[in-house]
Structure 1
């Protein structure tokens, strides 16, 4: 397998130089690469260890003249297919071993920044606001899913985290957001379509075979985070919803959680938030990590894997929610983090409204 790392010298406000003399390429050299991405973690991370002798690092150049420096842009390619785009956030060099260790975040890190001015939106839509926020962070936006709806007015105060605003929208539009391998910000469906019991009628991207299905030989279900009652608040208005199927699974015990979403200003949106949260709980209750497999440069977060255990066991269908990739002298390996598929359409419809009301303010 061929691999290379391209590093672009930073060139002013959120920009990078594309001059040949300002681009460093490490290609098939003594190097270790680790890439970690998960659906539940805000940013993906890459860790690179390379020989640093003769490399143009800022620490050796004095000031900011080197190419390898914090906030320099970095791209990783396997077989000429891009796998990671981000910036260097930390670098350390080892004088004895003559190596440099680069820690990099993918481009969604910019959405963890906060607003430095008041932002006002009027007569627009949820998707348009998400796109504008992404552009304000200096990122490219691409949409493949998520329901849209009109927004009459929205004020975002100074010091608000970009990603917090986007997350509130995601819950009301049944969407998900992540940085792609090429550094774009992708808005997609919360989860792909799936019909339980339909087998290969469902779409799947890859087929894997594993006797144990699990790197630690331990698999199970975790109900500790499952709450079958949700109180969804927007300002002082609230609705309480129940997932009856979850109540049955929890042996008819009632567990209440409180969700605040400042954008869920209608009952329809609050029900959408409940469906979003219930689906997340069902998914997260069935984690499964398969054993490491030969690396696949085309596998990605959000794809579906058909997992075959043995001839006597029906195959399972799982969502790829995490990928740990490692390239070293020993080869190129992936470890996939998988979650069992469920029918999102059923869960979105299932929340039952138990009560509604207005929380009264308490005067001290």
Structure 2
């Protein structure tokens, strides 16, 4: 309902309109432009006064605030998990198998030291077997006989087993530690070969023998499922060996649930400190426009809850070479006191998705058009 001021203004406008009409009729249709302009001004003034007040500015502020909040969230929040591709060389690498696998079937070595198992049985051809009840056994080819060799056959590794490959010795040897073996390790030897433990046995030239290293009985308790957790000593089998070939290739596409390129090192004061084993590498995130990141020597790389496939794993006396393809919950770099996350943020992921970016851009354009139409319609009332 119009108030008294509105009513007076409306009466004044009606009177001016009536006077203007009389003047036009008296002047044979001629219109006084000044009088017409005054009537139009009064009419617009009355319409403006009667127009209900709308919170235009508040709506605009809310829209801008919502857009700013969305952009801030995209720029600050990181992806819950990210696909990664890692090509690296290191002095040591540790993985955990996600299912029962065969690490490698057959490879030849010049010498091998086996530590951590309780019983080693040597069965030479046409002779009674000999059993060594010791936790350390060393086998080595002796002399220059061309036919002397040692062939290692690794057993299947159960799911959840820790596997550590080591190339840090610097004497032409490599290391392989497996936690949780349930099957025996088998070797084929052709003399001259010397077998040393709590006693000594020598195979004559061309004499063959089958060596079986039996695992200890399964113990109660859980075997560590992550590389960082300790493996019970009675469940670990450690091989130190000098391969005949330049390197040992483990089975391709190994399924793993963790990957570690660092190790605990005991300091002079007796404390343990995490040290990187990385020599070099490239890290690629699974984003369309993400460049590969070059990893420097001794850079401490952490892959939280990594899982995927170890496409290649090659162990040579100089380095462990690997290609990993999978995902991780978080990718971090640097020591614990200066940890930096490399996991892409939502905005980086969004900008890398061409189709998604086009959809959002089109949506924002349509929203802008709708806002423009709304303002035009709102202003024309």
Shared topology, TM-score over 0.5?
A: no
- TM band (smaller chain): under 0.3
Given the two structures, how large is their TM-score scaled by the length of structure 1? 0.21
Given the two structures, how large is their TM-score scaled by the length of structure 2? 0.20
